[in-house]
Amino acid sequence: MTNNSNKKARAKYITVFATFLAFMGIGVVDPLLPTIAKSIGANSWQIEMLFTAYIFTMAIMMIPSGIISTKLGNKKMMVIGLGIVTVFSFLCSVSSGINELSIFRAGWGLGNAFFFATAMVLLISFSDEPSRAIGMYEAAIGLGMAGGPLLGGILGNYSWRLPFMATCLFIFIAFLLVTFLVYEPKNKKERNVAGISDLIKLIKLKRFLKVAIGAMCYYYGFFVILAYTPLVLKIPTIVLGLVFCGWGLMLAYGSAILSHTLEKKYEVAKILPYSLIIFIILMLGLFFIDNLYVRIAIVIISGLVSGLNNALFTTYAMASSPYGRDITSGAYNFVRWLGAAIAPILSGIISGLCNSSTPFIIASFIILLGFISIKIKVKDVA
């Protein structure tokens, strides 16, 4: 019994560690955007393709990943995903132009789709309390988002290629750890093979759809902060890395500690609207205030609210679905990451047509739509 408990705990913490490393790969690009744009001669919307190509591929592949994982098993899917990320992060480090780099980032997104569609499901399987597992998962995301910019900021001072090489090494370590030390949990109830029909039924489920659409609108705003703000702040690479490291630490605290504390006292559906309103206010602050130091403070503080929103939306979505975690996770991630995929490139285009602050007011309206979505009263037919 003790050996089984140790094995289960080891698998849980390795899954958390692998999630941290995988999300570090998202954030590592953040402080590099201005440097890469200058080095290879890319404009705002072209450089934003590094995020959009990555996230759009990841979003599109979330659904097939969730379905395939019910056949292959979550561990195998995670290992395949980490292997793909290892290869494409290395290719990013040796790329020579923006188009090539965007294609390799898309390949990176494919690998992360396989990983993200299964990591949370595995983590919940290794945990006794689902909400606690979700908190750990979101904390790993936050710490990864903190570590990524810091790594990118430090190594990016020497060359924008070095952070990609370092990420390749770290993901390969995660690949080895998961391959040899994580096992496939035996849960027959969760092993029913999901199909397209299950997906269609879930998407038609109004109580799930309203949460997923709300998350999609919120994640648009989340990635305006993460992917677009670095181009607006116009500060040195290392300073940018430190700013988003602080943002990521706040993200981790909000998702792992603040959300768990609040969920013990209040219902998720009652907390979420208030946290979205606060996020809208912060976004409006970035639109109306031009002072650099105030903007930096708003970005860092937004990490706390974002971490809370991330955990609340995930808990809310999983609870609103009657289907297995595999298909629910795949469908939810597909919808929410679509908003994330649109945000970077659309913000780059809008800033070119209007001014650098306009994307923030657009994001405020889109997040407001998300607020309206989760507040709508729906009733599903039994």
Domain ranges in the chain are 1-181+193-375
pLDDT of res. 90: 95
Q: Is the pLDDT of residue 275 over 50?
A: yes
Tell me which of 192 and 138 has the higher pLDDT: 138
pLDDT of res. 61: 85
Give the residue-averaged pLDDT of 13-28.
86
List, for residues 189-231, the tens digit of each pLDDT value.
544 555 566 667 777 788 889 999 999 999 999 999 988 999 8
For residue 65, how many other CB atoms are within 10 A of its CB? 27
User: How would you class 196 by CB atoms within 10 Å of its CB: exposed for 0-12, middle for 13-18, buried for 19 or more?
Assistant: exposed
List, for residues 152-171, the tens digit of each pLDDT value.
888 888 888 998 999 999 99
Whole-prediction pTM value?
Answer: 0.83
Token representation of residue 307 = 């971490």
Q: Is 1-181+193-375 a CATH 1.20.1250.20 domain? A: yes
Alpha-carbon span 71 to 328, nearest angstrom: 15
pLDDT of res. 63: 72
For residue 28, how many other CB atoms are within 10 A of its CB? 28
Spell out the residues 6+ positions from residue 60 whose beta carbon is closer than 8 angstroms to its own. Answer: 113, 334
List, for residues 74-131, the tens digit of each pLDDT value.
888 899 999 999 999 999 999 888 889 889 999 998 998 888 778 877 888 887 777 7
Q: How confident is the model at residue 28 (pLDDT cuts 50, 70, 90)?
A: confident
Question: Quick one: which of 242, 271, 255, 334 has its CA closest to 16?
Answer: 255
Question: Quick one: which of 40, 225, 9, 239 has its CA closest to 127?
Answer: 9
Q: Token match 């659409």: residue?
A: 213
Token representation of residue 297 = 């403070």
DSSP per-residue letters across 323-336: S-HHHHHHHHHHHH
Alpha-carbon span 43 to 47, nearest angstrom: 6
Q: ∠ CA 117-118-122 to the nearest 5 degrees?
A: 150
Spell out the residues 6+ positions from residue 346 whose beta carbon is closer than 8 angstroms to its own. Answer: 359, 362
Q: Would you say how long the chain is, in residues? A: 382
Buried b (16+ CB within 10 A) or exposed e, 312-323: bbbbbbbebbeb
| Range name among 1-5, 47-51, 112-116, 361-365 with the lowest pLDDT average | 1-5
DSSP per-residue letters across 7-54: HHHHHHHHHHHHHHHHHHHHHTTGGGHHHHHHHHT--HHHHHHHHHHH
Give the residue-averaged pLDDT of 62-85.
84
Question: Quick one: which of 109, 143, 353 has its CA closest to 255?
Answer: 143
- 113 alpha carbon, distance to own chain's centre: 11
List, for residues 305-348, the tens digit of each pLDDT value.
999 999 899 889 888 888 776 677 777 878 888 888 899 889 98
Q: How confident is the model at residue 1 (pLDDT cuts 50, 70, 90)?
A: very low
